[in-house]
């Protein structure tokens, strides 16, 4: 079911899967990504494992509030970003308030992992467990993308639906998983759906500005007292796997490294990701008994 609420001064579009009475699990998507990028079957798998799953559009993407009055930030400048990752973490906390959930298991991918980390740091009572996927600790400890991956990320935004589908495939060629089968027609179809639903390149640039301005979260991660899992693919060219090792080290855990996974969520990797996520939630529940 897709709904919208007012939270932290903006409108947030969200969708749920599973039983409202089950332990809640919130999915936070990455840079410029709509909630659609959490595949429905992936969400249903987590719901079938016993969770009430919430996926949502971050600010400035999809059907949540667009902040176009903030302008498009100049990359590499000294000006502060229009908003920060901390603001986006506060959005997630506001969403929990709006849907009357006191605390949830939280899963974030890429920039969403950074937001999930900050949600746990800034609002520790709202996070039961944390699963950080293909993300970083931020600041000077971040291992940068390959030149080819960065070029793919910063490709000119598409002018129309067909270009959007073509671009999605080209970017996946560079940053996607190498160890799992691809369904290029499905990739094109998903890109077309996202274009039709909400095409908003300016928000993508403001997301990048927020990521670039974020300080290191390493020390604060080490102070968290919740169950944490860090998942990363060893074929990730956009957020190299060294970032997963550094995130895990900061959190004091061993990373779950998925062979052949790049900077995407290939269906073949879902069992490893969902098993680790559900296990982390179970560990959190065991700690409270």
Q: Give pLDDT tens digits for 69-98.
A: 988 877 666 789 999 999 999 999 999 999
For position 285, what pLDDT does the model report?
Answer: 81
Confidence (pLDDT) at 1: 65
> Distance from CA of residue 130 to its chain's centroid?
12
Cα 134 to Cα 113: distance, rounded to the nearest angstrom: 7
pLDDT tens sequence across 211-231:
999 999 999 999 999 999 999
Sign of CA dihedral 133, 53, 68, 170: positive
The second-level CATH assignment, the architecture, of 2-144+201-287 is: 3-Layer(aba) Sandwich (3.40)
Secondary element (H or E) of residue 13:
strand 10-17
What is the reported pTM? 0.97
Please tell me the predicted confidence (pLDDT) of residue 36.
Answer: 97
pLDDT of residue 188: 97
Instruction: Classify strands 52-56 and 104-109 as parallel, antiparallel or unpaired.
Output: unpaired
- Which residue ranges in the chain fall short of pLDDT 50? none
Q: What is the pLDDT of residue 77?
A: 63
């Amino acid at each position: 079911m897709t709904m919208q609420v007012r939270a932290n001064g903006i409108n947030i579009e969200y969708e749920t899967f599973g039983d409202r009475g089950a332990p809640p699990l919130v999915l936070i998507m990455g840079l410029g990504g709509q909630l659609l990028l959490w595949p429905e079957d992936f969400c249903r798998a987590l719901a079938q494992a016993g969770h009430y799953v919430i996926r949502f559009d971050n600010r400035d993407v999809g059907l949540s509030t667009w902040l176009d009055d903030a302008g498009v930030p100049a990359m590499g400048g000294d000006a502060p970003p229009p908003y920060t990752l901390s603001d986006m973490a506060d959005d997630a906390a506001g969403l929990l308030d709006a849907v009357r959930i006191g605390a949830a298991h939280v899963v974030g991918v890429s920039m969403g992992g950074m937001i999930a980390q900050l949600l746990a740091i800034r609002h520790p009572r709202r996070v039961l467990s944390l699963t950080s996927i293909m993300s970083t600790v931020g600041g000077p400890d971040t291992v940068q993308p390959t030149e080819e991956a960065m070029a793919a990320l910063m490709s000119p935004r598409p002018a129309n639906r067909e270009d959007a589908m073509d671009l999605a495939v080209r970017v996946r060629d560079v940053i996607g998983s190498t160890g799992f089968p691809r369904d290029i027609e499905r990739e094109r179809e998903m890109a077309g759906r996202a274009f039709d639903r909400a095409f908003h390149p300016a928000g993508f640039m403001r997301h990048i500005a927020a990521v670039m301005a974020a300080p290191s979260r390493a020390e604060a991660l080490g102070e968290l007292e919740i169950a944490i899992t860090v998942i990363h693919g060893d074929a990730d060219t956009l957020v190299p796997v060294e970032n997963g090792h550094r995130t895990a080290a900061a959190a004091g855990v061993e990373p779950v490294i998925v062979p052949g996974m790049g900077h995407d969520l290939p269906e073949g990797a879902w069992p490893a990701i969902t098993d680790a996520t559900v296990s982390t939630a179970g560990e959190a529940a065991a700690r409270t008994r």
